[in-house]
Chains A and B, each alone.
Chain A
Amino acid sequence: MTALYFLIPLALLFAAGALAVFIVSVRKGQFDDLDTPPVRILFDDPPAPPGKETSHVP
């Protein structure tokens, strides 16, 4: 059982890490707009910059 004295603080540390990541993502505005990102993934990639053209697929 003594392992708990080590494991519980460790688990709390993980939780604190997750919370910190959450706070950073809120501050960066990742939760500001929940409507657009799900449709944005449907868009094609922007055309490749000139000179780096991909093969022509009709």
Chain B
Amino acid sequence: MNAAAPAAVSIREAAQAKGCVHCGESLPAEPIQGAAETELFCCRGCSIAFEILKGAGLASGYYDLRRRLREKGRPVGEASGNFAHFDDKAFEEHHTKSLSGEKRAAEFYLEGVHCAACVWVVERLSQQADGILSARLDLGRSHLQVIYDAASKPLARLAGLLSSIGYRPHPLGSTGQQEAERKERHALLIRLGVAGACAGNIMLFAAALYSAEGERLSAAMEGLFTWGSFLLSLPVIFYSARPFFRSAWGGLKAGTLHMDVPVSLGLSIGFLSSTINTIRGEGAIWFDTLAGLVFLLLVGRLLLDTGRRKAAEASRSLFSYLPTSALRIESPGTAPRQIALESVLAGDLLFVPTGDPIPVDGVVVEGHSHVSEALLTGESAPVPRGLGEAVFAGTSVTGGSLTIRAEQTGEKTRLSRLSKLVEESAARRAPIVAQADRIAAWFVGAVLLIASATFAGWYFFAGDPETALRASTAVLVVSCLCALGLATPFSLAAAIGKASRLGILIKGPEALERLAKVQKLYLDKTGTLTEGRPQVVERLSLSSEEETQEALALAAAAERHSTHPLARAISEFIPPQTLRVEEFHQEPGRGIRARVRDKTVLAGNAAWLASQNVDLPLVRIDDVRAFEEKLAASTVLIAVEGHLRAALFVADRLRQDAADALKEIRDAGIEVAILSGDAEGPVKAAARELGIGEFHSGFSPEQKAAFLSSQEKTRLCGMAGDGVNDAAALAAAGVGIAVHGGSEAAFQAADVATAKSGVLPLAQAIFIARKGLGRARTAIALSLTYNTVVTSLAAMGFVTPLWAAILMPISSLSVIALALKQ
């Protein structure tokens, strides 16, 4: 008895050290005791939860699953994440800015930010690092801004921490440009705010003036209202509307007439005549209409600006492929020293170890290696590079290591030029926006003509100078193409916004317009139409059902020891049982042999089984072949103790929604074809199952890109794909669509990206784009109609300031309502 007591105590102690059985929290001094001695709980709630699980027979399964999840979810430390140079002086100079004293701010682009939970993890974790004073993650842009204490040098630690849980940080280049853009956006918002506040108050004055029309308002009161309107419209005209005047002036100097010209003209004439009438104390004043106009136009401008900014951000993240440091060989024979990328000068000798990205454009001076240039060329297979050959920043060394001499650094590298190109093409105006501008150009001429004709008509023929002035001013004020200017940005932004709520990122209005006009859609097979990983699609029993069941269970247990994709598919297919595997042998390319529960299990292809003396009856094998062909699958035969028992067919299954989605796309009049790098068999099977007539198999990435470029000449083609090997094709196609789960390179190269798996988002994206473009066209037509009608009314002298004040918002608001209703 005496001997047993200490043992019991130690069991209890061990249990106590483990913490609460249910939640794992440390135990209070007097824990709650469960049925067994080792079942200790921190509280009543945990013990009840445990009893419920146990009563339902789920306790072992639940706790086992939880333990395994915890092990699987453990952060995988990345060996390549050496961030020591983040604390260097050069890094501090280029990537961070001083706030006050030792306080500095730095901004990073993080890989892998998806949802609210990421914000929580990143911010909480960052704040736990010593020396980090605050951390804010911008979910939309994946930008992390940290404020830190420079004295304790926390950045390298922080970067290591974030990278170890999968958020690899990339410092954002010199913050100057970012800062300038931020300021610009702030200025636009303030202009908008000023215009809104003033316009609102002017409208209140105007309402008083209009409602008093006819009755006698005391002169003092009327003076208060008109002079009040005048004073309030000063900031609107001279501050808020400045961008329009500046752009119109720029356009005139360059000899082009765009939307801002009639706007500026209407604003200045309207303001001048209203000011004169205010001083005179009689006549029409238009201040309310003018201020409302400026406000609405600024809203449109803000929308366009937001779209453009998003596109620019997307291309900027191309830089995240560049390393932030380089290994410089300072004197021959010594170990290379890690320095910040910014301190690399042309002519420096740099060492690039295997697996690392090349930091600058340069020439190989020593070593020989394969270099993956997928980012620049879309070519996924690495190319050999040796002495005297050029290598480019952003590509990575995949086998062997290189010593290179730096030639171009920073903004002069090919990658920088490329990303600038992407940014420029993203910032290009969508054709439909340009179209609205072209319409505006001849509209200006027409408006000027009508205004002069109106003035001349009333002055010379009717002999009424008062009406001549009022009517011609009215023409200029109401013909401001406010609704036209708002129509396209609103409809396109609304469509892009709707798409993004469905998890589809459309990179800008131009991409949206091309997506809407796509005539033929090419789809990659693996990963796009299919799940992208092999799964068991069919099971063929070659013996009694019982024997088959047993054989499958044994095989699944054995396959768990293999990492081969087929083995993983099999062990996922069969419900897990814990069987002890005594012996395991793997023959690459053929199969496995194992001893499980005292039985020898063989799994693999026919040749492997035959070599292990398994009898393979010809009739059976014919059955298997027939299945294999029908399913276009790989076959795994399973034998137990030398007898063939079952066959499993493993294939990359088509996505569930593929057939339906493709039907919708075809119904919309878009041709569909498969463009795959896979072998003919599986491609043909997929095409047959989906009812696609045209398919191309065995295409290399270059062939895909070349094929699309040639097709592109006859009609607008779309390409949907996921892999790095599709990146070039996505860029070559009129519209590249990167499918969820694809590589970063594909995402960068694409015009459209889906964040949800499946083929259905592709169809949704196309329909949203079509609808958005349709709305934009309707809105343009509607606003042109408004303008024509109102301008003619104004020319006839019917439009008084009151009418303008009513018509202008009605036209703008109805166009906006039309654009947003999708």
Contacts and interface: CB of A to CB of B under 8 A. Distances in A.
A5 to B, nearest CB: 7
B224 A4 contact: yes
A23 B140 CA distance: 23
A35 interface: yes
B602 to A, nearest CB: 52
Contacts of B186: 26-27, 29, 31
Contacts of A36: 119, 136-140
B715 interface: no
Contacts of A29: 182, 186
A15 B201 contact: yes
Interface in A1-58: 1, 4-5, 8, 11-12, 15-16, 18-19, 22-23, 26-27, 29, 31-36, 39-40, 42-43, 46, 56, 58
B228 interface: yes
Interface in B138-194: 138-141, 182, 185-186, 189-190, 193-194
Contact of B45 (A4, A23, A58): A58
B190 A5 contact: no
A18 B197 contact: yes
Chain B interface SS verdict (over half): helix
Nearest to A43: B120
Interface residues of B, number: 34
Nearest to B200: A15
B43 A56 contact: yes
B773 to A, nearest CB: 26
Contacts of B190: 22-23, 26-27
B23 A33 contact: no
A26 B193 contact: yes
A19 to B, nearest CB: 5
A4 B221 contact: yes
B796 interface: no
B238 to A, nearest CB: 16
B44 to A, nearest CB: 8
B224 A5 contact: yes
B116 A42 contact: yes
Contacts of A5: 224
Contacts of B303: none
Contacts of A43: 119-120
Contact of A58 (B23, B139, B224): B23
Contacts of A18: 197
Interface in B44-63: 45-46
Given A4-B221, A29-B182, A40-B119, A19 B197 contact: yes
For A18, A22, A33, A58, which residue has the most chain B Cβ atoms within 10 angstroms? A58
Interface of A: 1, 4-5, 8, 11-12, 15-16, 18-19, 22-23, 26-27, 29, 31-36, 39-40, 42-43, 46, 56, 58
5 contacts: A33-B139, A39-B116, A46-B127, A56-B28, A58-B43
Would you list the 6 A-B pairs with minimal beta carbon distance, nearest first?
A39-B116, A35-B140, A36-B139, A33-B138, A58-B45, A58-B43
